[in-house]
Structure 1
């Protein structure tokens, strides 16, 4: 498989827009961003701030 060009990227974006609609895309991007953040924290071995707070309470 070769590199993605501008045309391929535009085609993919058009299909995503048709499948999910304009209202759902911000929700999808928010979920994707939080998933990436959690993955980076897990890769570093850091725990989320929420779980650290819970451990100190116990």
Structure 2
């Protein structure tokens, strides 16, 4: 009575798939994966990321007008 057998878990899995559908379960799985990845990145902190200085860049463009004939 302490633990469930593999047959119990298979029946529970089939019922869950019937209720939610396979597409909904795969979407939930990918959402959970993204959440875990975001949590890991948040735990790492900004100290681990290399700091790259942002250099301002300008674009010099000579604008020429076209003469319409």
User: What TM-score do you get using the length of structure 1 for normalisation?
Assistant: 0.50
1:16 to 1:45, Cα distance in 2 relative to 1, 3 A: same
CA gap 1:3/1:24 in 2 versus in 1, 3 angstroms: same
Matched residue, 1:5:
5
Flag structure 2 segments of 5+ consecutive residues without an equivalent.
Answer: 47-69
Name the counterpart of 1:21: 21
What is the root-mean-square deviation in Å for CA atoms of aligned residues? Answer: 2.7
**Cα 1:5–1:41 shift into 2, 3 Å:** farther
The count of corresponding residues between Structure 1 and Structure 2 is: 47
Secondary structure at 2:15's aligned position in 1? helix
Pairing 1:15-54 to 2, within 5 Å after superposition: 15-40=15-40, 44=43, 46=45
Question: Whose relative contact order is higher, 1 or 2, with alpha carbons under 8 Å and at least 6 apart?
Answer: 1
Gapped regions of structure 1 (runs ≥ 5) = 48-58
Q: Name the larger-Rg structure.
A: 2
Tell me which protein shows more helix as a share of its residues.
1
